[in-house]
Amino acid sequence: MSSGEAEDLMRMLRDSAADYVNRSDMARDVRAWRNKPEGYDSARWNEMVQLGWVGLRAPERCGGMGLGIEECAALLAETGRGIGPEPLSAVGVLAMRALAGGEGTHNDDLMSGLVEGGRVIAVAWQEVAGALHASDCETRAISAANGWRLTGVKDYVHGAAQANILIVSARAPEGVGLFAVQPGDKGVKLETRYFTDGATCHRVHLQDVEAPNFFCVAPPGKGEAVLDAALDETRIAASAEMFGLSQRALDMTLDYLRQRKQFGKAIGSFQALQHRAVELYVTTQMMRAAIDRAARAFEGAAARDKALIASACKARCSDGALLIAKEAIQMHGAIGYTDEHDIGLFVRRAIKLAAWLGNGAQHRKRYAALSPALEQV
Amino acid sequence: MTAVARDDYDAMTDAEFRTMVRDFIEAECPAEIRHLPRRIRWHEVKPWSQKLSKRGWLAPQWPKKYGGMGMSVSKQIAYLEELDRAGVPRAPDMGIVMLGPLLINYGSEEQRQTYLPRILACEDVWCQGYSEPNAGSDLASLRLEAVLDGDHWVVNGQKTWTTLAQDANWIFLLVRTDKQAKKQEGISFLLVDLSTPGVTRRPIMTLGGHEEFCETFFDNVRVPKDNIVGKVNEGWTMAKALLGFERIFLGSPKLSQVALNRLALLGRSTGAFEDDRFRDKFTQLRLDVADLTEAYSRFADILRRGEALGPDVSILKIFATSTYQKITEALVEMSAENGSIDEPVTYGNDSLDALAHYWLSRPATIYGGSSEVQRNIVAKQVLDLPG
């Protein structure tokens, strides 16, 4: 693709996403579907499938668009503005990239299923709060007749509301592997809780669950690197979503500052509020810089560099989104503290995404731990 | 290579150009004047400026016709970045950066022929007379007065924060020539020889312990009538129009990067990197500098495409200077008692004067439009807030 074509494609993607966000009342969707086990409207999900968004990061041989992280980040920044409840990052990025990186014989079929919409796949990898790496895995994979038997408990699973496949990480003597199981399989039990934005948060109990060889996504020993790369890419995706929702929350706040009158004038004319609003704008621009830098450098980087790139980006965007969220409440005054005003939906989404796959403090710590002796700055 | 080919800068790739500049700096710019944590004085930097002058590199932004390098904006940015990278000091350069472009755009041909060659020859050193005791952020309220008397302007009043006026022999002034007009409309641009009777300079000591700027007094100073640049009462418009692409440099990551390198030195030497709190703070600052660098290059790309910067460029200065100050504050904090002594402390083979960095960073949020003024600009011109 020439750089001109790439720019055109990027613009088309942005425009179609912006158009989608503008013509649908996504905030109403969030309210309609929050704290419900179905999680979101499957018809809407199918629209996103048809638009190619779910298959954006799928290889072309599987019917995907085969586009890069920069395009993916651009799309998610737009959809992030709309805060729809559909799990684009959890399914279209995390599951897709785990499949794309693995070597399983069935992976291409699974990716095609995601791209076409017949399958919804979520990744159940995390076990304890605060875990950041694929190696944080206690779930066991024991060798069995035609494959493996999995036992353990997974938690904080995003995007599994309508999943018909779960990719589960489990540790065998050779190392961590990734296995595909179905929620209805014998020995699988799902517990449903909800994140603050109303999206499902699943805990998955696995007791001697049979995972056949042909359904293995990445064999033991290979799964760790595959999953870590997918997690790091998803951190950039989540950052892009946070950038989008932060921009929108700031826009709503600025509108409010222009319209709301007290003491006979718009409160946006008060310098104290103006300067705070500017800090928020600066914050969004630094989030944008962090995402641009990460999206450009990620693909093709070595594993440790991917971790550094993703952590730098997620740290900036998690902290930024949380700052904008809490300031948006404050500047809206009492109405900002009510559930009926939409700004709260943005705040809740920011809180969820900031914590997902590691918050700012965790990522700075990870960055520091992985940095080359902190000697070369 | 022939001299002509050697100086056909826009025919070079950016990489070739950078290598050429880098090699010249390494060969010609003495180590003892590089990476100084203070403004350098003219007598210290003059030999280096003369080398640049001889090479034809003193005025990168001027057209070739007037002895400049006549380069694309992209090459100008590359040039300044290479100087920054090597820690090359900024000479008293107001003649080159401000006055030159002003004369080239608005001056008479006679003024150009008179003043430009002398700047290039390092004969004239100019300083900028804008701020006054009661005209800082609100510069347009300036009151230094010039009244026409026959063939001369008679100048009375005071300028202040005149950077390195004690090293200069000429000053360009914004003066009030019409007291009745709206405040921006009665201002003219005037060139004054500092040896004219009635001019007095008093250097001012900064908190950093350096005489970086002066109060400059004008007591019935008679200035030839022709020393006005452009039209009378249009000085404000001209000066403002020239605030072009150099605004991006106030938001350059360079100062922050240099200070961060010093903080890394301190962390290594004191074992502070073992401390979680320091590691977290250091990492945060490091990522601030990385994202600042990315944001800076996005604005630089706008210039490279030949487009004009919008008012949003102010966010660079806001973020760059606050980052810079956070780093120098960390330097002082991590230095413990050493951070309360105005002298270098030895750490291994290196040394660090933490307070010098701290002092140097303080005015960054004040000069070139204070952070508060920058926020006012962004609030109104970018965020469209009322009032």
CA nearest B161: which of B221, B105, B211? B211
The answer on A358 and A231 residing in a single domain is: yes
Paired residues of B154 in beta bridges: B147, B222
Q: Compute the Cα dihedral for A10, A11, A15, A18 and give only its sign.
A: positive
- Say yes or no to pLDDT of B170 above 80: yes
ipTM score: 0.90
The answer on A233 and A358 residing in a single domain is: yes
Q: Which of B319, B372, B380 sits opposite A282 (nearest CB)?
A: B319
Asked if A336 contacts A344 with a C-beta cutoff of 8 angstroms, the reply is: yes
The pTM score is 0.91
Is B291 close to A269, i.e. CB distance below 8 A? no
Give A312's contacts in chain B (Cβ within 8 Å): 287, 290-291
Is B385 close to A257, i.e. CB distance below 8 A? yes
Distances (CA, A) of B95 to A139, A218, B34, B115, B169: 71, 66, 22, 9, 11
Burial class (CB in 10 A: 0-12, 13-18, 19+), B345: middle
Alpha-carbon span A346 to B195, nearest angstrom: 64
Is B260 close to A377, i.e. CB distance below 8 A? yes
What part of B 271-300 touches A (C-beta under 8 Å)? 273, 276, 279-280, 282-284, 286-288, 290-292, 294-295, 298
pLDDT computed for residue B5 by the predictor: 56
A260 CB near a chain B CB, below 8 Å? no
The answer on A85 and A36 residing in a single domain is: yes
Give the ranges where chain B is alpha helix by DSSP (H). 3-6, 14-28, 42-55, 73-85, 94, 100-106, 109-120, 235-241, 254-270, 276-304, 314-334, 354-361, 371-377
Asked if B170 contacts B194 with a C-beta cutoff of 8 angstroms, the reply is: yes
Asked if A107 contacts A59 with a C-beta cutoff of 8 angstroms, the reply is: no
Of the residues A116, A139, A171, the one at which a domain ends: A116
DSSP for B126-163 reads EEEE--BTTBSSSGGG---EEEEETTEEEEEEEEEEEE
> How many beta-carbon contacts under 8 Å exist across A and B?
109
Domain with A242, as residue range(s), is 224-370
- Residue carrying the six token digits 């290579």: B1
The answer on A176 and A73 residing in a single domain is: no
Q: Which of B284, B296, B334, B371 to mutate to test the interface with A (most CBs of A within 10 A)?
A: B284
Among chain A residues, CA nearest to B293: A289
- Residue carrying the six token digits 């103006």: A274
Residues 6 or more apart whose CB falls under 8 angstroms from that of B213 comprise B160, B161, B162, B163, B164, B165, B203, B204, B206
Structure tokens at B96: 């080159």
Is B282 close to A374, i.e. CB distance below 8 A? yes
The answer on A334 and A242 residing in a single domain is: yes
The answer on A267 and A146 residing in a single domain is: no
Can B372 be counted among the known catalytic residues?
no
Q: Compute the Cα dihedral for B262, B164, B97, B317 and give only its sign.
A: positive
Model confidence pLDDT, tens digit, residues B33-42: 998 888 999 9
Residue A350 counted as domain residue: yes
Of the residues A116, A149, A165, the one at which a domain ends: A116
Q: Structural domain tally of chain A? A: 3
Residue A377 counted as domain residue: no
Alpha-carbon span A200 to A8, nearest angstrom: 36
The answer on A340 and A275 residing in a single domain is: yes
- For residue B22, the tally of other CB atoms under 10 A from its CB is 14
Give A257's contacts in chain B (Cβ within 8 Å): 385
B35 CB near a chain A CB, below 8 Å? no
Q: How many CA atoms lie within 13 A of B228 on its CB side?
A: 22
Q: Tell me the nearest-neighbour CA distance from A57 into chain B, angstroms.
A: 25
- Say yes or no to pLDDT of B240 above 90: no
The answer on A186 and A162 residing in a single domain is: yes
CATH number for the domain harbouring residue A358: 1.20.140.10
Is B383 close to A277, i.e. CB distance below 8 A? yes
Of the residues A57, A90, A116, the one at which a domain ends: A116
Give A263's contacts in chain B (Cβ within 8 Å): none
Model confidence pLDDT, tens digit, residues B312-362: 999 999 999 999 999 999 999 999 999 999 999 998 888 999 999 999 999
Residues 6 or more apart whose CB falls under 8 angstroms from that of B224 comprise B151, B152, B153
Domains recognised in chain B with CATH numbers: 7-90 (1.10.540.10), 126-240 (2.40.110.10), 243-382 (1.20.140.10)
Residues 6 or more apart whose CB falls under 8 angstroms from that of A326 comprise A347
A171 CB near a chain B CB, below 8 Å? no
pLDDT computed for residue A31 by the predictor: 95
Least confident window among A74-83, B51-60, B227-236, B262-271 = B262-271
B145, B215, B246, B329: the catalytic one is B246
pLDDT computed for residue A297 by the predictor: 96
Q: Tell me the nearest-neighbour CA distance from A220 into chain B, angstroms.
A: 34
Q: Compute the Cα dihedral for B282, B283, B288, B293 and give only its sign.
A: positive
Give B280's contacts in chain A (Cβ within 8 Å): 361, 364-365, 368
Alpha-carbon span A72 to A58, nearest angstrom: 11
Low-confidence ranges of chain A (pLDDT < 50): none
CATH number for the domain harbouring residue A78: 1.10.540.10
Residue A375 counted as domain residue: no
pLDDT computed for residue A1 by the predictor: 62
Mean pLDDT calculated for residue range B359-375? 94
- Say yes or no to pLDDT of B52 above 70: yes
pLDDT computed for residue A375 by the predictor: 52
Alpha-carbon span B39 to A320, nearest angstrom: 35
Banded pLDDT at B4 (limits 50, 70, 90): very low
The answer on A243 and A182 residing in a single domain is: no
The answer on A243 and A361 residing in a single domain is: yes
- Say yes or no to pLDDT of B163 above 90: yes
The answer on A204 and A164 residing in a single domain is: yes
CATH number for the domain harbouring residue A160: 2.40.110.10
Residue A346 counted as domain residue: yes
B265 CB near a chain A CB, below 8 Å? no
pLDDT computed for residue B1 by the predictor: 38
Residue A275 counted as domain residue: yes
Among chain A residues, CA nearest to B375: A275
The answer on A345 and A302 residing in a single domain is: yes
Is B280 close to A361, i.e. CB distance below 8 A? yes
Q: Tell me the nearest-neighbour CA distance from B236 into chain A, angstroms.
A: 26
Alpha-carbon span B64 to B347, nearest angstrom: 47
Q: How many CA atoms lie within 13 A of A135 on its CB side?
A: 3
Structure tokens at A13: 């993607």
Q: Tell me the nearest-neighbour CA distance from B379 into chain A, angstroms.
A: 6
Residue A376 counted as domain residue: no
Is A282 close to B268, i.e. CB distance below 8 A? no
pLDDT computed for residue A308 by the predictor: 97
Residue A125 counted as domain residue: yes
